[in-house]
Amino acid sequence: MTDGPPLIAAETYLSAMADFGVEVIYATSGTDFPSIAEAYGRAPQRGWDLPEALVCPHENLAVAMAHGHALVTGTPQAVMVHVSVGTSNMVAGAMNAARDQVPMLLTAGRTPVSEDPEPPGSRSRFIHWAQEMFDQASQLREAVKWDYELRRGDQAEAALARALEAAQAPPPGPVYLSLPREVLAEEVPSRPRRRPTPVAPPAPDPDAVDRLAGALRRADLPLLVTQNLGRDPAAVAALEDLAARWALPVVPFNARSMCFPSDHPMHLGHEPGELLGAADLILTVACDVPWIPKVAAPAAEVTHWEIGLDPLYLGYPMRSFPAEGAIQAAPAAVLRALMEAAGPVGDAAPRVEARRSRLADLRARRIAALDAAGAGPELTAASASRALAECLPADATVTNEYTFQIPQGRFTRPGSVHGLSPAGGLGWGFGAALGMKKGGLTGPVVAMLGDGAYMFNNPSACHWAAEVHGLPVLAVIFNNRRWGAVRNSTLAMYPQGASAAEDGMFLADLSPSLDHAAIARAHGAEAWDVRSLDEIPAAMDGALSALAGGRQALIALHLPT
Ligand SMILES: Cc1ncc(C[n+]2csc(CCOP(=O)(O)OP(=O)(O)O)c2C)c(N)n1
Ligand SMILES: [Mg+2]
């Protein structure tokens, strides 16, 4: 029962959203949302709690914040943008979320259809004609699991429940719901609503697990490669046990989460190297690209199994890694089942122990190489990554967008680091850090950004959100005054070419560089310029104190190149 004016669809939609567990709507709004504003205005009178609505002054920021929020809570948050053009600005973020399997509810208004004075919400601005599209959702349909346009006000809650169950059904991902202005304004009845149905993930197939366990028992040199198993802390714990018992070397390859503690004796670094060609059994877990055939490939007779909620990455048009089989289930469940099925080491012990000592030598060599690369005294991406990581407290969380070197971070805690989606849509790391803070992280949150990545993040929008929404995060800029990755790619393809004569800098040069510290200060942040390795501890100390005092901070690292 409700007091006040008759209910409109925008009200039931928003109250259902709170009821279904969405905490925040990251909003870059437009002329299509008067009914949303009206619903928020009426909520106190109705005695309703609606999701917190947070202004994000760019759609890219809104999606990145929802992405970061979902990474730390596991729950989908909502993004609300303006019609066709707002949707356009949201597409790269949607691609990132899709390839990173992050649930989120993307919503957009839809320009009014009616050209008549009635019904409420009909066209009243000149833009309402030009903003209509034949198929607004087509812009991001490839990036979402489900999309729909709300047709009737009395279906708002049902459409929302459908959207949220689709976003969360394994593997999770973004969904898109467009909300026409007239429909949001429709008067609707109050009635019981259906909740989204939670979907339990598939259990690992016992026969497949038995076959894989047999292969593990027999293997001379098994190898586990993962990219994102660390998304689930339970999977990390299960892998620690399995790797320790079976002397199973683990290589997080292009990892974007803390998949395996760097201090575990079976952590063999971040590149498979000679292990790839030598392995007779390869397990790839939550890993879209286990190796790059153009660079290195396993032996032809290798036994290869793929494991994950979507082990073949069926959303990728082409992907051709030969495998004996795939097990579709959550990695934690598969690794625990594998531990059980493989049983005690028993008579395989001599082979397992010999392997353990061989791998200890290899691990020592790889750590020495990592140490050498990260050593000073020069300020390089590697040495800066190491020095910064050494200053991070145990409860810090890092987002990485490009130049920070995760291997030098030597992370050990699940959830301590999150890298850019394999879709590679730059403009994510700063917003994701803000969303993680909003999602409830209490420790320091640090966005490690290339100078190029910083600009893709719309720095003004990010600093503004940090200031206005009280989300103190630290941005560290690796300023090499270039899109280094673009240059490296040119040099790698044409090492002797005409472009190499220009040092590969054509279309990669960002000099002269911005004064990043001044930009940050202009937005209320405390900021430090760092030109040598030994300045990092003091700058980090100052920045962490700023965060503890509720202020955003920025460190501009001036790398020699
Ligand atoms: C939205 C988007 N546009 C363009 C690219 C292509 N791209 C990949 S890496 C890169 C340069 C990154 O530069 P920076 O952040 O400075 O890091 P650096 O390579 O210098 O370490 C670009 C432009 C991209 N990945 N995403
Ligand atoms: Mg750069």
Query: Under 8 Å CB-to-CB from 456, ≥6 apart: which residues?
Result: 426, 427
Mean pLDDT of 69-74: 97
Cβ 254 under 6 angstroms from ligand 1: no
The pLDDT tens digits of the residues spanning 455-490 come to 999 999 999 999 999 999 999 999 999 999 999 898
**Sorting pLDDT into bands at 50, 70 and 90, what band is 2?**
low
Per-position DSSP letters for 365-414, written without gaps between them: HHHHHHHHHH--SS--HHHHHHHHHHTS-TT-EEEEESSS-HHHH---ST
Mean pLDDT of 264-272: 97
Nearest-angstrom CA–CA distance, 547 and 527: 11
Which superfamily is assigned to 375-558 in CATH? Thiamin diphosphate (ThDP)-binding fold, Pyr/PP domains (3.40.50.970)
* Domain at 206-372, CATH class: alpha beta
Distance 166 CA to ligand 2 centre (A): 38
Nearest-angstrom CA–CA distance, 160 and 157: 5
User: Which residues place a Cβ less than 5 A from the ion ligand 2?
Assistant: 450-452, 480, 484
Distance 449 CA to ligand 2 centre (A): 9
Distance 78 CA to ligand 1 centre (A): 27
Residue 197 clears pLDDT 70, i.e. is over it: yes
Cβ 425 under 6 angstroms from ligand 1: yes
In ligand 1, the atom with minimum distance to the C-alpha of 92 is 1
**Sorting pLDDT into bands at 50, 70 and 90, what band is 121?**
confident
Tell me if 206-372 shares its fold with 375-558: yes
Cβ 486 under 6 angstroms from ligand 1: yes
**Sorting pLDDT into bands at 50, 70 and 90, what band is 120?**
confident
The pLDDT tens digits of the residues spanning 10-35 come to 999 999 999 999 999 999 999 889 99
**Sorting pLDDT into bands at 50, 70 and 90, what band is 526?**
very high
Cβ pair 106, 25 in contact under 8 A: no
Per-domain boundaries in the chain: 9-185, 206-372, 375-558
Distance 558 CA to ligand 2 centre (A): 10
pTM of the model: 0.97
Residue 225 clears pLDDT 70, i.e. is over it: yes
Cβ 382 under 6 angstroms from ligand 1: no
* Mean pLDDT taken over the chain: 96
Distance 400 CA to ligand 1 centre (A): 12
Q: CA 41: distance to chain centroid?
A: 33
Which superfamily is assigned to 9-185 in CATH? Thiamin diphosphate (ThDP)-binding fold, Pyr/PP domains (3.40.50.970)
Distance 506 CA to ligand 1 centre (A): 14
Our mutation pick for probing the ligand 1 site, out of 426, 454, 503, counting the most ligand atoms within 8 A of Cβ, is 426
**Sorting pLDDT into bands at 50, 70 and 90, what band is 501?**
confident
Cβ 482 under 6 angstroms from ligand 1: yes
Cβ 426 under 6 angstroms from ligand 1: yes
